[in-house]
Structures are given as structure tokens and as C-alpha cells.
Amino acid sequence: MPPDAFACHPLVTCRPQFLHPVSLKKQLDLPLSCKYYRGGKRMKFIGKRSITVLVFILSIISILRFLWITVTASSSSRPLPALPPTSLHTCSSASPTCRKTPLRAPGARRSQHNNSANATALTEKEFQLLSNLISHRAPCNLLIFGLEPQHLVLASMNAGGTTILLEDDPAKLSTVRRRSNNTRIYKVEHHIPAGEAYRVLKHAREDPACAPHSKPLEESTCQLALTKLPQEVYELKWDVVVVDGPRGDRAEAPGRMAAIYTASMIARAGNMTNVVVHDVDRMIEKWFSWEFLCDENLVSSKGKLWNFRLVGKSNSTRFCPSETVQ
């Protein structure tokens, strides 16, 4: 009798095969062989073709995705188009009602230096405080350290008074075209860089020549005294002194230490003088205002603007009471 038939896979047709006695020993482990018919070979061929097509499709998708990522990355790395320049409101120096800030002088050249100056320009509220002060005291003697378009507007408010502007930057001086009889602009020199502020402050505290009323300002040997200003600066009694220069925005740039000290000396030589210091958010302006103008004399402030009112004292030997000096 033939040996029992073994079960095969449902998709494979199996046919029993009788073993020859000679090959029995060689085929002990294969009592039954299952042969594939044409239908099984067709199924195997279709399976291989499906896998090939699937691999091809996945390859195409991967290539398309790679191309998409490349195009997206290249487009995002391109620089964005530059925005159009922001328009600035320009005020005429003859219009005292101008309130737009920051202001640009007519014909002023655009430069990195001008951009730095515009960054510290008077805000609308700061300009309002200063213009109200000058309008209230006009006609008066107005002294301004610095030369900005806003300062020229302030000078125009002082009709009938005397206004002197002191500037050390030749580029700013070259932009000024209009000068009137009651407004004069002088070029001055500031030799102490902002980086030496602490050194000169220590010197001023130790040197008796820097004490108030030690001798006339133009003859002083104090390192902070500006002794080469126009002679009328020393002769006039000033009602308002504005310290908004020199720049003092970098360690190597001229600092405002000497300007604040000189303004305090000028104020103490007068009757009653308002000294207004701009950019008091910076450490040098804050330090030297406390040291030489004194917190007790601060009467108003707005933004980065401090307004001090000093009364002349002929016999004072110190700027501030010792308990108020930090």
C-alpha cells in the first residue's frame, strides 16, 4: 500500500510519489514531495512583480520629497526684500508749534552718525517739557550743549533773547545754513572720552580747584572745567542751560562730564538757572547730575530728561550736601 499522504499548503497542489526501494535510504526525510503546478508558478511571479512595483513607487515618492525639501530650504534662505525707508516728519526751525519728533534739519545728510543721534533725540513729551520751560522764561539767555534740529526749534522759541549752541561735531555744523542775530553757534572741543568718567569724577572730588566758586571758570585748573568757550559764555547770566551734547554714546566718544560740571558752575554764578540734562538713563549723565546738580534741586522730569533749578550761591564750598551725595 502507498504511504500516507502528507498535508500541503492550500495554494500548492500536492501529488503523492512512491518511493523506490533503492533511494529509500537517501530520502528518509522526504517521504513526500510536493510539486508546484503552473498555477502556483503564476502566483509566485505576480508576488515578485508587486514587490518590484511597490519599491519603485516608494523610490519615486522619496525622490519627490527630497526635491520638495531642497526647494523649500533654498527659498527660505533667500534674503527678504528691504522695507521702504520710514518717512520722518521734518519741522521748520521757524515754526515754534512743531511737535513731531524726531526732527531732521533741512538738507541733513543720512549717515550712521545721524542714525545714532536720532536714537537719542528728544521724545514728544521731553520736547514738550523743554519747550514749555523756554516759552515760560522767554526772552531769556539760553545755552545749549549740542546741535540738533530740535535745538534750533527751541532757539526759535526764544525770540528776543540770546541763544548760544556749542557743538564739537564738524558734520553737524556743516548742515546749519541759517543763523540769526540772537542765535549763535560755536565749535568747541571736548577732550575727555566717556570711558574716563570715573577717573575724572574721583579727581573732581579730591582737587580743591574743582570746588564751586574757587576762581572764575575760564581760569580754573580743574580737569572738568571747559576753559576755552566763547567769552560771552562766561560773561552772561544764563537762565536755561541744556546739556544734550557731546555724544557720549561710546567709551571712546567725548563724554558729557565736563559739560555737566561747567553747566553747574555757570548756574551757580547766576541768579536762578534751570539746568536740563538729557539721556539720564545713561550712567555718566546720572552720576554727574547727582554729583554737581544735586537731587535736592530736581524740580521736574520727563522720560530721559531731568530739570534742575539752581540758585546762585557766592560762598558755597560744596555742590551738594554731603548726605545727598552717593
Domains and CATH numbers, the chain: 112-324 (3.40.50.150)
Query: What is the rounded average pLDDT of the residues 233-257?
Result: 96
183 Cβ neighbours under 8 A, 6+ residues apart: 152, 155, 156, 158, 163, 164, 165
- Higher-confidence residue of 110 and 199: namely 199
254 Cβ neighbours under 8 A, 6+ residues apart: 168, 190, 191, 192, 193, 194, 246, 247, 248
For 187-226, the pLDDT digits (tens) are 999 999 999 999 999 999 999 999 987 688 999 999 999 9
Half-sphere exposure at residue 93, Cβ-oriented, CA atoms within 13 angstroms: 20
- Higher-confidence residue of 237 and 105: namely 237
- Higher-confidence residue of 318 and 103: namely 318
Q: What is the predicted pLDDT for the residue at 62?
A: 80
Q: How many angstroms separate the first and last alpha carbons of the chain?
A: 121
For 129-173, the pLDDT digits (tens) are 999 999 999 999 999 999 999 999 999 999 999 999 999 999 899
Instruction: Name the most confidently modeled range: 9-13, 75-79, 174-178.
Output: 174-178
Q: What is the predicted pLDDT for the residue at 157?
A: 94
Q: Is the peptide bond before 254 cis (omega within 30 degrees of 0)?
A: no
* Band of pLDDT at residue 5, cut at 50, 70 and 90: very low
Q: What is the mean pLDDT of the chain?
A: 76
Residue 2, pLDDT above cutoff 50: no
What is the three-class DSSP state of 260?
Answer: helix
**Cα gap 221→275, rounded to integer Å:** 23
The closest of 151, 305, 312, 150 to 237, measured between CA atoms, is 312
CA distances from 123 to 33, 177, 278, 315 (A): 100, 25, 11, 38
**Cα gap 143→161, rounded to integer Å:** 11
Residue 142: strand pairing partners: 163, 240
